[in-house]
Structure 1
């Protein structure tokens, strides 16, 4: 081979290698975004983009978008995917506070009358998702009766009349309803059963009768005889409030939007004028729309809209979402909505970690049925489901999802729902649910009598006391209609109004091991309750469940029936006719464990719980101290596990509420007879 040809080949090889290296290095770039830039910019640090989407449109694998201080009123929608080794990253620059908002600011108000101001030319096109915010706090749509305590959970509602002909499936009555034309407004109703609220457009108002009319409710669940005026329970047929009329705008924090005139009316808080603070209105449903893979969101704050994921292996870390899913449920035909502050609708391998999700009328985080093998870990999720439907702080339907070390607090109805096959819920701290609803639980699921293999372990569940109108139906762990295949072990359930554990209908093949139940209702309340009515004239039956090594205070063990005279109590758990395996479960007249905050629930020295348990493979057959496993959730001399987050949130755009940290120094109330053994 001639030398010249040889050297040409070598030169071409190195040129090709050099160009390839350049292309590889060029494929991973840093972009900067700063909304304060007066030009669109080129993405450099010296001349940053104005919007995040400018970067999102061109970023490829390995690229990083640094977002500088400011509020970005847009939705992040990446156009490309990253890879496992080279994800696409959107993160806050240094310690900058970055807010991605689904709202638009409203300024230039004029006086309407009294303390009410108005602004014309305002576009609010999100219907039931329209909201108004004052300094990032949600305001109240104009209503009667007024929300006097600014607490959505308390409802501040009126009772409907009880007399015959004052209520039906298409109207309710109350003689105190103000004499204005409520037609076109909205009624919010929560029935006497208090399991699920609904809202309907008002079609008419008869002032003489005090009657509000609406489209006839369907004669099926959730309406029918369960969540409608037909149901008489707790001394009433339901409570309600009316909203969305200008004439009802008469109190601070209230607003009304005239869509035809594009005019917003607002009664600011504290006697102030609107322009003395930041007033914002909903403009977009989402702050993030991830339909790609391997995208990272880090150190960002999201406001007024949902983070939606329809991709794989995306990661959201050290972020905060405030008021992510706020909406009405007007004319909803069912009992649930998919909206959530963070929702994974489809995809696998997504991770949500060390995030704060705070405030929302519906779900905190939702994993839909096509969300598979995702993980939610070390997150604070609090103050959701203010509207009182079937929504939860954590709501997961997809298979093989994992939830570890989360702290969740505050829901009108249920705390957590995990129903996807082969899922795991562990080391979480769940509290303060059923605030304004009933017939639910801190952990609540339904099923179809097919085992799901869902493991629920090493969690704390406490503080579930329903409101006066709701009745005393707030449960700890509630395996409702036909739930099957839940492995429930090493949990602590305390300060509950209506029993620690509940099965209904054909709940089968659940395993309940080594749990501590304490102060789960009054002394006459059973630890376990079951509702076993006839369905299609066939008696349902809770059977083939295993319960070992559980402890509680002194009370009936099990109460089963159908709400009438039918009862099967002892047959559920004792004697030759027992339907379930029930052994090594013990009740104590004195508290056999520590109640101080540093080692709460750990067995006392010489506790009667020690060495009294049955060995169960995969549950407690290894690692126990002494001759046998202990009863209850903790092993004397073993690890003292504390569920919930292990970090303190700092550096976010808003200071999170500390409600998630509540534990209680003692039981509420601790009966006089229950004293520590030493």
Structure 2
């Protein structure tokens, strides 16, 4: 009886912990021997809480640094998830790193360090107790968030962000030095074919370009066997390969690598392959560099003891392992410094994960951010999927390979005919910032987000920037059909993808031939997508430059980055997007675009090389397009063509109409607005009279407020123009009511499918051309006053003020965050009696901080904002106009309001020589700045 009583008592005690609705964890004051039921009896580790938490438990995480990998034991339920939540935003950090090492000076050069190295600068530590099989990925000074590099040559740096590899070394060849010099050879694309290799790289000459590149080559560093080579391909610089040196012929400057590398089917290494070598003691010659001896488990660093005091060194592979678990929420946490995945969901064919929610997270310094992998087989149940994954309001940065990887596999090497159901479905990725991704990728391409056979996925309101390769890459659909094109919806087994209202910029920073968002597929089984809507996004500043492409004269002198890239694919609806200042095209579709629906409607393509580029040889597809429609687009100021495509006038399923062309063809195709497979067309009239296209197309200025054609044209150099532009139509635009009277049927069906309601309904008898339907801007009759006599004056001047964000949001009365880059601009329609007079432009801003009851006033003096005393006679001159035009666009402010949350009101006007001040008194420009999100 006594034993039974103890058993029951023990069971009750255990149950009271397991069924707790609240558990507390405190890294600084907790103890894993506590019960965790209150803040005063908190556990110390998250793993201890993860052992105890069951459905309905909220784990309250107190401020602190938690150095552990967490693998929860139990799942929640749909109505009772398990929640791991920071009690205070921005105070909880889960780290995969350690700092407590003992450092010893190197006293003998047993490592064969460079002869020039002073040994007293090199310190080493024994890390044999750590679970490391290769070099720790991250050594980071947390005070400055600066990462130490692996020992490498050359000791390159990035001076222009979109020319990331510029100061790497340039190879002489692959298996041998090239026998020609491609930049000046008549066959510069192929004269060096004989020396190219899939496994060897040769370099024996110091580079002379660019100015400032470090001297050295593969014949000057000694035997580098065991080191790593990071190299771009010789064809065009599209891929970055990471390979291990297995043999080094020092005298000939030739290394042999452990794995083959190809660009498509061509050997990848040869003349023009930009490269560097790393991870070898012979390269440890600069402050901050490190090397890891995998045999002795010793870490060597060029540093002083003071440098190492706050050095975080990654030792764990995974932060949160949520594999085979469901209904778990992580909220308000920082996860950092893991050698592999910050968050891992990896399921075999018998397990699943449902309802995982990741909210307000800050994830940085890992190889991969969020990894979701689902395996299926013929024996898997219908439940064996990853369903309902949500990532919202989070930041993922400084990932070596990718921020997000969603991938699945199934029987017969994931052949389409063996497909049963989507492995990952019902995914939401919303309001996140994803940046600085893929620059040390372990794959051959470092993309921001790798989304394979995506299904029921929404990617909305995210900011993606600074990515080595593609910002997002959607890889493959699943098609089960005997046909090769013209599929019915039920033959395409995956789809329903919405990419909406995102800002995607500054991707393709190492390579060419990539995009902001890229859809990749291969005919005939993975190339046509179903129900894909790309809507309301801004794609900008995607240059896509490489040294070898420039030297071989490929593409636009080495520039080949596009906003939207359909790589062998179709099934895309592209609607109300803005793509500008891109190295190649606003949208580039190559191969496969004829095989399914392509709708490109109501977009803005401006300041690109080509606005729209569709290429596919007719010989590859001896049939017309299934359904290609290019309608209602603004094609403005593109260097080469507004539209370039490879179809002919016989393709009756290719519809091009109701587009507006303005100032296209100013560069290499001077004066041409459109080109097809046979010829270019210098004028719209030529298009209309000799082709079936553009019967209702128009040309003329769309009347963007504040748009300057010359300054917006890309300069194709290091002073590349990277501005923010407002592409809303002014009220006098020729594009208003000149589009189609209705949208293509499949597009309208897709809008209904995603429950999307247009923010602005059709205002006239037809849609406006471009991304925005025009509505009356804030427009008033203004106020005029004589500042000497204080007497009102008559005026009919009108002011139209607008605030524009980098993501394309525009209007008056906007709410933006302190981190948003904005432009404040006004258009002045000048009273005819004032036209031609000299005038000073004056600006005043009223700023009411959060919690304040009255505003502070500032005026702009030249380009500087200064405190204003409130008297009209002390107004300063912001700009001058020697002769007022009938219409004047005034740029009031461009930038961010960091740490300046509050309400803003802007007054702008002009002061005439008669002391008459005309300003926007009845309708000022107003906006609100709020604090940025804290994870």
Q: Report the Cα distance in structure 1 between the residues aligned to 2:257 and 2:618, rounded to whole angstroms.
A: 33
2:329 corresponds to which residue?
296
Deviations 1:495-547 (A, max 9, x none): 011121111122131111101110012xxx46324143866xx7697663111
Contact 2:134–2:292 (8 Å) recurs in 1: no
| Cα offset, 1:199, TM superposition | 1.6
- Selected match of 1:408 from 437, 455, 464: 464
* 1:239 equivalent in alignment to 2:246: no
Q: Report the Cα distance in structure 2 between the residues aligned to 1:526 and 1:68, rounded to whole angstroms.
A: 52
1:198 corresponds to which residue?
241
- Selected match of 1:283 from 300, 313, 316: 316
| Cα offset, 1:399, TM superposition | 0.2
Give the SS at the match of 1:154.
Answer: coil
| Cα offset, 1:53, TM superposition | 0.7
* 1:188 equivalent in alignment to 2:230: yes
1:208 corresponds to which residue?
251
- Selected match of 2:345 from 309, 313, 328: 309
Contact 1:103–1:284 (8 Å) recurs in 2: no
* 1:394 equivalent in alignment to 2:480: no
1:29 corresponds to which residue?
21
- Summarize the alignment of residues 87-486 of structure 1 with structure 2, pairs less than 5 Å apart: 87-95=81-89, 97-112=91-106, 113-122=119-128, 123=130, 125-127=132-134, 130-135=137-142, 136-149=145-158, 154-155=164-165, 156-162=167-173, 163-164=178-179, 168-175=197-204, 176-177=217-218, 178-192=220-234, 193-215=236-258, 217=260, 221-222=262-263, 224-225=265-266, 227-229=268-270, 236-268=271-303, 273-305=306-338, 306-309=342-345, 311-325=353-367, 340-346=368-374, 347-369=386-408, 370-387=423-440, 389-397=444-452, 398-418=454-474, 421-447=495-521, 448-469=526-547, 470=549, 471-481=558-568, 483-486=569-572
TM-score, normalised relative to structure 2: 0.60
Q: Report the Cα distance in structure 2 between the residues aligned to 1:516 and 1:167, rounded to whole angstroms.
A: 41
Greater shift in the superposed pair: 278-287 or 196-205 = 278-287
Contact 1:166–1:211 (8 Å) recurs in 2: no
Give the SS at the match of 1:602.
Answer: coil
* 1:58 equivalent in alignment to 2:52: yes
Higher RCO (CA 8 Å, separation ≥ 6 residues): 1
* 1:544 equivalent in alignment to 2:597: no
Give the unaligned 5+ runs of structure 2: 1-11, 107-118, 180-193, 205-216, 347-352, 375-385, 409-422, 476-493, 550-557, 664-700, 708-722, 752-756, 778-802, 826-886, 890-935
Distance 1:506 1:284, change over 3 A: closer
Q: Report the Cα distance in structure 2 between the residues aligned to 1:362 and 1:454, rounded to whole angstroms.
A: 26
Contact 1:364–1:381 (8 Å) recurs in 2: yes
Contact 2:604–2:635 (8 Å) recurs in 1: yes
Deviations 1:330-355 (A, max 9, x none): xxxxxxxxxx3012334111211110
* 1:511 equivalent in alignment to 2:599: yes
Give the unaligned 5+ runs of structure 1: 1-19, 230-235, 326-339, 561-567, 651-657, 667-675
Contact 2:592–2:616 (8 Å) recurs in 1: no
| Cα offset, 1:31, TM superposition | 1.1
- Selected match of 1:630 from 768, 786, 799: 768
Distance 1:224 1:187, change over 3 A: farther
1:600 corresponds to which residue?
726
Contact 2:140–2:312 (8 Å) recurs in 1: yes
Give the SS at the match of 2:726.
Answer: coil
CA RMSD of aligned residues (A): 3.4
- Selected match of 2:641 from 556, 559, 580: 556
Q: Report the Cα distance in structure 2 between the residues aligned to 1:74 and 1:638, rounded to whole angstroms.
A: 57
Q: Report the Cα distance in structure 2 between the residues aligned to 1:433 and 1:58, rounded to whole angstroms.
A: 43
Q: Report the Cα distance in structure 1 between the residues aligned to 2:815 and 2:244, rounded to whole angstroms.
A: 45
* 1:528 equivalent in alignment to 2:613: yes
Contact 1:406–1:644 (8 Å) recurs in 2: no
Q: Report the Cα distance in structure 2 between the residues aligned to 1:91 and 1:172, rounded to whole angstroms.
A: 50
| Cα offset, 1:275, TM superposition | 3.2
Q: Report the Cα distance in structure 1 between the residues aligned to 2:436 and 2:163, rounded to whole angstroms.
A: 9
Distance 1:55 1:38, change over 3 A: closer
Distance 1:542 1:114, change over 3 A: farther
Distance 1:623 1:167, change over 3 A: closer
| Cα offset, 1:272, TM superposition | 6.5
Q: Report the Cα distance in structure 2 between the residues aligned to 1:72 and 1:539, rounded to whole angstroms.
A: 62
Contact 1:33–1:43 (8 Å) recurs in 2: yes
- Summarize the alignment of residues 557-576 of structure 1 with structure 2, pairs less than 5 Å apart: 557-560=642-645, 568=646, 571=648, 575-576=649-650
Deviations 1:13-59 (A, max 9, x none): xxxxxxx9xx9998342111112237422213222111101111111
| Cα offset, 1:366, TM superposition | 2.2
Q: Report the Cα distance in structure 2 between the residues aligned to 1:544 and 1:72, rounded to whole angstroms.
A: 55
- Selected match of 1:495 from 571, 581, 603: 581
* 1:72 equivalent in alignment to 2:66: yes
**How many aligned positions are there?**
600
Distance 1:98 1:467, change over 3 A: same
Deviations 1:397-419 (A, max 9, x none): 22011111111111111112235
Deviations 1:72-117 (A, max 9, x none): 1112222111122221111112346111112222422122224221
Q: Report the Cα distance in structure 2 between the residues aligned to 1:553 and 1:375, rounded to whole angstroms.
A: 34
Q: Report the Cα distance in structure 2 between the residues aligned to 1:514 and 1:245, rounded to whole angstroms.
A: 54
| Cα offset, 1:283, TM superposition | 2.0
TM-score, normalised relative to structure 1: 0.81
Distance 1:581 1:146, change over 3 A: same
Give the SS at the match of 1:623.
Answer: coil
